[in-house]
Chains A and B, each alone.
Chain A
Amino acid sequence: MATLSMQNVTKKFGRNVIAVKDFNLEVKEKEFLVLLGPSGCGKTTAMRMVAGLEEVTSGNIFIGDREVTELPPRKRNVSMIFQNYAVWPHMTVYDNIAFALKLKHMHKDELDKVVKETAGLAKIEMLLERFPSQLSGGQQQRVAVARAIAVNPDIFLMDEPLSNLDAKLRVSMRTELKAIHDKAGATTVFVTHDQSEAMSMADRIVIMKDGEVIQVGSPDDVYHRSRTIFVADFIGTPPTNFLDVSIKKESDGTHLVNPHLNLLLEDGMAKHFNSYKKEHLILGIRPENILLVDSEKSALSAKCLVSEPQGSHQVVAIQLDDNIIKAIAPAWPTIAPGTDVHLNFKQETLRFFDPDTTLAIND
Chain B
Amino acid sequence: MNRNPIKIGKLVRRTIFYLFIVTLAVSIILPAFFLVSLSFLSTRESYSYPLPLLPSLKTDYSLTHSDRGYLLSVYDKFDKEFQTVLDTAELKKMSVYMEAQIGTPYSIPEIEGRIAELENGTEDTVFFSARKNLLLNYTTFFAITRDAVPALLRSLQIAGLTILVSLSIGGMAGYAFARYVFAGRDALKFSVLFVRMFPGVAIALPMVIILSNMGFYDRPIGLTLVYSVGSIALTVWITASIFMGIPESLEEAAQVFGATKWQTFLRVTLPLALPGLAAAAMYTFLGAWTETVSAIILTQFNPTFPVVVYQSLLGAVGNVNLAAAGGLVLAIPSIIFTFFIRKYIQQMWGGVTI
Report A's interface with B, CB cutoff 8 A: 51-53, 72-74, 78-80, 82-84, 86-90, 99-100, 103-104, 130-134, 147, 151, 157
Contacts and interface: CB of A to CB of B under 8 A. Distances in A.
Contacts of B255: 52-53, 72-74
B252 A103 contact: no
B275 to A, nearest CB: 11
Which 9 A-B pairs rank lowest in CB-CB distance, beginning with the nearest?
A: A133-B352, A100-B257, A131-B350, A86-B249, A86-B253, A103-B258, A133-B350, A73-B255, A74-B258
15 contacts: A73-B256, A74-B255, A74-B257, A74-B258, A78-B256, A79-B257, A80-B253, A82-B252, A87-B253, A89-B272, A90-B349, A99-B267, A100-B258, A103-B258, A103-B263
B257 A147 contact: yes
Contacts of A133: 349-352
Given A84-B247, A90-B349, A131-B349, A103 B272 contact: no
Nearest to B250: A86
B118 interface: no
Contacts of B349: 89-90, 131, 133
Contacts of B252: 51, 53, 73, 80, 82, 86
Contact of A90 (B260, B263, B271): B271
A58 B152 CA distance: 61
Nearest to B249: A86
Interface in B323-354: 349-352, 354
Contact of B258 (A86, A104, A131): A104
A286 B195 CA distance: 67
A74 B256 contact: yes
Given A84-B249, A86-B249, A89-B272, A53 B256 contact: yes
Given A74-B255, A74-B259, A100-B257, A86 B352 contact: no
A103 B351 contact: no
Interface of B: 247, 249-250, 252-260, 263, 267-268, 271-272, 349-352, 354
Contacts of A134: 350
A147 B271 CA distance: 20
Interface centre among B247, B257, B259, B267, by most chain A C-beta atoms within 10 angstroms, is B257
A198 B213 CA distance: 70
B320 to A, nearest CB: 49
Given A84-B249, A86-B249, A90-B271, A103 B257 contact: yes
A132 B250 CA distance: 13
Contacts of A80: 252-253, 256
A73 B350 CA distance: 30
A151 B258 CA distance: 9
B343 to A, nearest CB: 15
A88 B258 contact: no
A157 B253 CA distance: 11
B228 to A, nearest CB: 29
A45 to B, nearest CB: 13
Contact of B272 (A72, A90, A130, A157): A90
A308 B252 CA distance: 45
B259 A103 contact: yes
B70 to A, nearest CB: 72
Nearest to A147: B257
A74 B260 contact: yes
Contacts of B271: 90
A297 B268 CA distance: 69
A82 B350 contact: no
A76 to B, nearest CB: 8
Contacts of B258: 74, 99-100, 103-104, 151
A103 B264 CA distance: 11
Contacts of B256: 51-53, 73-74, 78-80, 157
Contacts of B257: 74, 79, 99-100, 103, 147, 151
Contacts of A99: 254, 257-259, 267
B353 to A, nearest CB: 9
A86 B247 contact: yes
Of B253, B254, B260, B268, the most chain A CB neighbours within 10 A belong to: B253
A82 B249 contact: yes
A132 B349 CA distance: 9
A78 B255 CA distance: 11
A157 B252 CA distance: 13
A143 to B, nearest CB: 11
A255 B69 CA distance: 140
A16 B254 CA distance: 31
B348 to A, nearest CB: 8
Contacts of A72: 255, 260
Contacts of A74: 255-260
Contacts of A89: 250, 272, 349-350, 352, 354
Given A84-B249, A87-B253, A131-B350, 15 more contacts: A52-B256, A72-B260, A78-B256, A82-B253, A84-B247, A86-B250, A89-B350, A90-B272, A99-B254, A99-B259, A100-B257, A103-B263, A104-B258, A130-B350, A133-B352
Nearest to A81: B253
A100 B350 CA distance: 23
Contacts of A132: 350
A131 B350 CA distance: 7
A69 to B, nearest CB: 16
Nearest to A135: B350
A133 B267 CA distance: 18
Nearest to A80: B256
A73 B250 CA distance: 14
Contacts of B263: 103
A141 to B, nearest CB: 13
Contacts of B350: 89, 130-134
B49 to A, nearest CB: 58
B149 to A, nearest CB: 41
